Structure 1
Amino acid sequence: QPGVLLHAPSGIGVVSPEAVCLASGAESVGIIAAHNADISAGHDITATAQGGISVVAKEAGIQLKSAGGKIELHAQGNDLHALAKTDVKIESIQGRVEISAPQELVLNCGGAYIRLKDGDIELGAPGNVYLKASHVEKTQGASLHTPASPLPAGYAAGYTLKDHAQAAMPFARYRVTTQQGDVFNGVTDRDGRTMSVNTLVPGDLKVELLSSEKWISFLLRPN
């Protein structure tokens, strides 16, 4: 099998003032390090996968932090499950904590429970129920409605790049820029297909092809 192998006992550096692209048209790309593997960017880092994404830390923990912006965690088509062997802590330093569900909300511990369903509150316990308060007041019924957050639908599409003769362009470097400013760099596969580009809303895509060391751009509009 033909191939290219690079080896140096003191290290190999790949440096360019412009873009650097590692791509596989039909197989995988592996990055392996015996110690640390570092990825940094002056702007954004985008990771997309047609299948799944797995992050595993065997010994140390996993930290997800945002110094300025908010953190959003969505399961747009299925369940969201958070599990811990010991404690689970949810805390707000300066704001509030809101938990809502349209059908049912259950709090359970040691067999005692509180169920909120269909406008009713069900309180049950295998033992005693203690109510400690300086004053308890019973009034007429009331309800509180919290608006549900809209779930983004999301849009995704891949493209087949062809030349003027309508022939597929395999292993061609391309760059896709969305209306939101996200940039995707890649190389078409053996059939001239690009990666799947994901956006929250439909919009125009700017596609650029590298030809004779110059980028040729054209616009793709949503159907």
Structure 2
Amino acid sequence: MAEETMNDFMDEIDKSLAKGKDGDGFIWDKLHALLDSGEYVDVEVTEAVKGGVVAFLEEKRGFIPASKLSLSYIDEEKLPEFVGKTLKVKVITVDEEEDKLVLSAKDYLKEEADKKKAEAIAKVQVGLVTEGVVESIQNYGAFVKLENGTTGLVHISQICNQRIAHPSSVLKVGQTVKVKVTAIKDGKLSLSMKAVDEIGAEEVTEEKIEFESEGEATTSLADLLKKAGF
């Protein structure tokens, strides 16, 4: 028991000496360890400065650039809104000589967004026909956001049956369209508007055939009645 007490006592002395002799270096070591591990830690934003905000970690003043605060662009005038908020950040730069510590909240937000995206895509099945909104238009096609929040690409060749020079000749941003999920690969959705039109055409053809068959049956019955003298 006495030996354990002595060991504990010596450990406390070693810690005290480490802090007293080179406490600042001890803190930088911890920051380097966080950098290497990629661990997320909680920090509170204390002030807004030009180009970002400030938060203290391990007693060191850390800078979070505006570009690392959110997944979307943050205006300079919006930076004060982050003061007082607690953010989950990752250490991305540690420079002891320059007394520089840079943090990022964007990494955690992106990781969480990717998880939600993967969960949403896992619920989508090939062959699903649903509605979506055109988010953006590119030379090669259009990106459509589905009702469950996932986004897929409608290639230019899958927009309509006619050949078009550019997707904008048929689509516009914000337009609601009906699409069919044709493939899911590496977490990406391939969509088709043309396939939905083809499904509609098939249904119309089937209805027409069914109607004509019923008409033939009716006519045949009328002829039989006429021949029977009714």
The structure with more strand, counted as a fraction of residues: 2
Report the TM-score, using the length of structure 2 for normalisation: 0.19
- Structure number with greater Rg is 2
Higher-RCO chain (CA-CA 8 Å, sequence separation at least 6) = 1
Report the TM-score, using the length of structure 1 for normalisation: 0.19
The structure with more helix, counted as a fraction of residues: 2
